[in-house]
């Protein structure tokens, strides 16, 4: 794979556009390796099915993570685990964004060289992913050698295609956002603490400064119509719908070409422009390429989809929509690469109704939260309350409330009542009713209604997850458990258990079977959200590990459970969600 680059003997590659026909050949490092290991014969290999590929954004290492980062990771992980639950192969990529002015300034402030500064920051995010039990297959760092090579390769392709040119750029630049803003996107602001008048971005509230420099530009404006055509053909590409409309309106209003480099005398920490070390590649072009880096880009012939690209879903926060929904698809179009199938944009977590931000210190330490409440409880809370459309306000009170009512008081209470109850036998009830194929086999109207509710839960969760609505899916499961608690209480099986004979035993087994099935189905469907507690619940019911896939998440699919795999003693022993400690 050979590419032409700027002549290193030319006075300055910034003087004008370069004629590609006069450029010397160049071979990237990866291609050199492939060239030396190439076999002298061709070999046809079967094309493997593309795995489901999902990504988080890569996180800046200039400061410690907060609970908003945890939410993004958990939300992405839930969708990956959902695919695994359905028996599909899935790949999750997360990582860290380590180049740019913010990192350069933060490392200088800390008195540490950029690379060790980034190494330390990356380890913190790796630790968070581990503590949150994220099943990430990749952890990409933009300082990785293979990432640098992929960015350089993409740069040369864009250059040869004529999408890169040089020009003077003037405008309002935000170091924090790593982007230029037009005059219409900034405003004067009086800083309350200092009384200082500054210009800020209207969109993010970050300070901007006037900058004038000569650098490389990407012909973003050339992709206006192509982007609009893509949006029209894929109206549900961005979730939720209103952000799709906002992106379409932004592109319809016109696109300016994008500055994609910075003078190296201002920005040294980044990937140098190939053959022009007077410029450093703009962090967003650099950063966005991470998604294809770990998917194996540049791909050998026949392996274009082996690493998962195009991504099936890319999960991002709403503050980086423009970069991922306008710049990113334009870059991909220019490179001739397929676009991701969906972009899931979530809202922010606030604290005291104010946006969490590392710069202001208005944050929640995710490690402390996990230590305090446990990872399964935190995953449940973030999934149940987290906002995709609207911001959600983080509160320890809300976490405790969800625990007391949804987990301990509803799911945990039902599990204890059913599995520890005296006078009935779950195994016997399952054997009696597992062959039932529809609600009409039950004579009691309440039983028929509840059977339908169990069956519909699987369908409801499937529909919501297909719509990338994890919150709706979790709430549908919670609704089933609440409905089952009411059904169980109203049926009073403990009363029937005192007079076991004939029709009474049949009625008792009906109640126990439907209540157990509710727990079993809920346990299976909650596995992507609470992997540990769901496993414990299914163990309490005695569900075989081979019977915990999505296919089994409907009534009547499993006739083999009923004997607990764990002790179901008194008190906290064998209890799914024990009462909270008083000091919480």
What separation in angstroms does the CA of 152 have from each of 144, 159, 160? 13, 11, 12
Angle of helix 241-252 relative to helix 224-233, nearest 10 degrees? Answer: 150
> Which of 81-95, 475-489, 495-509 bottoms out in mean pLDDT, i.e. has the lowest?
495-509
Q: Cα–Cα distance between 119 and 388 in angstroms, integer?
A: 31
Mean predicted confidence (pLDDT) in 170-191:
76
Core vs surface per residue 517-556: b (16+ CB within 10 A) or e: bbbbbbbbbbbbbbbebbbbbbebbbbeeebbebebbbbb
Smallest CA-to-CA distance from 450 within 534, 519, 498 is with 519
Q: How does pLDDT run across 551-565, given as a tens digit for each residue?
A: 999 999 999 999 999
Mean predicted confidence (pLDDT) in 564-575:
81
> Which of 39-48, 178-187, 271-280 bottoms out in mean pLDDT, i.e. has the lowest?
39-48
pLDDT of residue 574: 76
What separation in angstroms does the CA of 25 have from each of 2, 5, 28, 160, 557? 6, 7, 10, 12, 62
Yes or no: say if 60 and 107 are a contact pair by the CB < 8 Å rule: no
3-class SS of residue 200? strand
Lookup: tokens for 539: 């163990």
The rounded mean pLDDT for the chain is 89
Smallest CA-to-CA distance from 150 within 35, 327, 271, 275 is with 271
Whether 15 has a pLDDT exceeding 80, the answer reads no
Q: Cα–Cα distance between 555 and 273 in angstroms, integer?
A: 60
Dihedral pair phi/psi, residue 127, rounded to 5° = -65, -40
Yes or no: say if 513 and 433 are a contact pair by the CB < 8 Å rule: yes
Mean predicted confidence (pLDDT) in 193-210:
81
3-class SS of residue 548? coil
Yes or no: say if 281 and 270 are a contact pair by the CB < 8 Å rule: yes
Q: Cα–Cα distance between 189 and 275 in angstroms, integer?
A: 41
Q: Report DSSP state, residue 295.
A: T
Mean predicted confidence (pLDDT) in 433-449:
93
What separation in angstroms does the CA of 45 have from each of 22, 33, 42, 301, 400? 38, 21, 10, 11, 55
Q: Report DSSP state, residue 340.
A: P
Whether 1 has a pLDDT exceeding 60, the answer reads no
Whether 149 has a pLDDT exceeding 50, the answer reads yes
Q: Which residues, other chains included, contact 498 with Cβ-Cβ below 8 Å and sequence gap of 6+? A: 423
Mean predicted confidence (pLDDT) in 528-550:
97
Look up the pTM and report it.
0.87
Beta strands in 175-265 (DSSP E): 179-181, 186-190, 197-201, 207-218, 238-239, 258-259, 261-263
Mean predicted confidence (pLDDT) in 567-574:
75
Bridge partners of 280, per DSSP, are 262, 272
Q: Which domains does the chain have, with CATH numbers?
A: 164-252 (2.170.220.10), 396-552 (1.10.730.10)
Q: Cα–Cα distance between 25 and 101 in angstroms, integer?
A: 32
How many other C-beta atoms are found inside a 10 Å radius of the C-beta of residue 162?
12
- Beta strands 164-174 and 207-218: pairing type? antiparallel
pLDDT of residue 288: 97
Q: Which residue has the higher pLDDT, 207 or 462?
A: 462
The confidence band for 397, taking pLDDT boundaries of 50, 70 and 90, is very high
- Beta strands 276-281 and 343-346: pairing type? unpaired
Mean predicted confidence (pLDDT) in 166-193:
78
The confidence band for 571, taking pLDDT boundaries of 50, 70 and 90, is low
Smallest CA-to-CA distance from 184 within 242, 246, 102, 250 is with 250
The confidence band for 179, taking pLDDT boundaries of 50, 70 and 90, is confident
CA angle 203, 204, 208 (to 5 degrees): 100
pLDDT of residue 500: 66
Dihedral pair phi/psi, residue 351, rounded to 5° = -135, 115
pLDDT of residue 502: 63
pLDDT of residue 193: 74
pLDDT of residue 10: 37
Give the chain's end-to-end CA distance (angstroms, integer). Answer: 60
Q: How does pLDDT run across 116-143, given as a tens digit for each residue?
A: 999 999 999 999 999 999 999 999 999 9
In terms of C-beta density within 10 A (0-12 exposed, 13-18 middle, 19 or more buried), how is residue 376 classed? buried
Mean predicted confidence (pLDDT) in 238-262:
95
Q: Can you give the length of the chain in residues?
A: 584
> Which of 66-80, 162-176, 381-395 bottoms out in mean pLDDT, i.e. has the lowest?
162-176
Cα 295 to chain centroid, rounded = 16
Lookup: tokens for 200: 């800020």
Identify whether 310 is preceded by a cis peptide bond (ω within 30 of 0). Answer: yes
Q: Cα–Cα distance between 170 and 185 in angstroms, integer?
A: 14
Q: How does pLDDT run across 340-356, given as a tens digit for each residue?
A: 999 999 999 999 888 88
């Amino acid at each position: 794979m050979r590419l032409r680059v700027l002549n290193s003997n030319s006075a300055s590659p910034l003087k004008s556009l370069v004629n590609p026909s006069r450029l010397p050949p160049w071979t990237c490092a990866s291609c050199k390796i492939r060239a030396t290991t190439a076999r002298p014969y061709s070999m046809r290999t079967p094309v493997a099915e593309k795995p489901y590929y999902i990504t988080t954004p890569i996180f800046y290492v200039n400061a410690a993570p907060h609970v908003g980062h945890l939410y993004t990771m958990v939300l992405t992980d839930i969708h990956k685990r959902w695919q695994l639950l359905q028996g599909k192969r899935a790949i999750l990529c997360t990582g860290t964004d380590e180049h740019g002015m913010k990192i350069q300034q933060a490392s200088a402030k800390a008195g540490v060289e950029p690379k060790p500064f980034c190494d330390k920051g990356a380890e913190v995010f790796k630790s968070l992913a581990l503590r949150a039990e994220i099943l990430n297959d990749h952890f990409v760092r933009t300082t990785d050698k293979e990432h640098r090579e992929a960015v350089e390769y993409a740069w040369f392709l864009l250059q040869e295609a004529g999408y890169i040119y040089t020009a003077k750029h003037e405008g309002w630049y935000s170091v924090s956002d790593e982007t230029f803003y037009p005059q219409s996107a900034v405003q004067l602001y009086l800083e309350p603490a200092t009384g200082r008048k500054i210009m800020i971005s209207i969109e993010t509230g970050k300070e901007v400064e006037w900058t004038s420099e000569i650098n490389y530009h990407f012909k973003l404006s050339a992709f206006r119509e192509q982007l609009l055509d893509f949006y029209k053909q894929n109206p549900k590409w961005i979730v939720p719908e209103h952000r799709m409309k906002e992106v379409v309106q932004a592109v319809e209003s016109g696109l300016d070409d994008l500055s994609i480099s910075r003078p190296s005398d201002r920005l040294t920490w980044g990937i140098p422009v190939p053959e022009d070390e007077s410029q450093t590649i703009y962090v967003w072009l650099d950063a966005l390429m991470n998604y294809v880096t770990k998917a194996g880009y540049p791909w050998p012939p026949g392996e274009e989809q082996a690493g998962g690209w195009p991504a099936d879903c890319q999960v991002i926060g709403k503050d980086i929509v423009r970069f991922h929904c306008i710049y990113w698809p334009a870059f991909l179009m220019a490179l001739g690469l397929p676009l991701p199938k969906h972009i899931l944009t979530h809202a922010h977590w606030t604290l005291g109704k104010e946006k969490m931000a590392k710069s202001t210190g208005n944050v929640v330490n995710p490690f402390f939260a996990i230590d305090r409440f446990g990872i399964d409880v935190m995953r449940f809370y973030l999934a149940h309350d987290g906002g995709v459309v609207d911001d959600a306000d983080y509160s320890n009170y809300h976490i405790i409330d969800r625990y007391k009512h949804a987990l301990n008081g509803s799911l945990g209470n039902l599990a204890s009542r059913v599995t520890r109850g005296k006078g009935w036998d779950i195994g016997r009830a399952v054997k009696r009713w597992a062959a039932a194929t529809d609600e009409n086999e039950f004579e009691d109207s309440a039983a028929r209604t509840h059977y339908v509710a169990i069956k519909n839960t699987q369908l409801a969760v499937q529909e919501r997850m297909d719509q990338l609505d994890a919150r709706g899916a979790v709430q549908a499961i919670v609704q089933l458990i609440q409905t089952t608690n009411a059904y169980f209480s109203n049926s009073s099986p403990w009363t029937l258990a005192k007079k076991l004979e004939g029709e009474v035993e049949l009625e008792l087994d009906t109640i126990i079977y439907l209540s157990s099935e509710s727990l079993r189905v809920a346990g299976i469907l909650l596995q992507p959200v609470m992997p540990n507690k769901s496993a414990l619940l299914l163990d309490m019911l005695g569900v075989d590990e081979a019977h915990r896939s999505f296919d089994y998440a409907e009534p009547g699919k499993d006739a083999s459970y009923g004997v607990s795999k764990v002790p179901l003693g008194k008190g906290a022993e064998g209890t799914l969600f024990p009462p909270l400690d008083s000091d919480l």
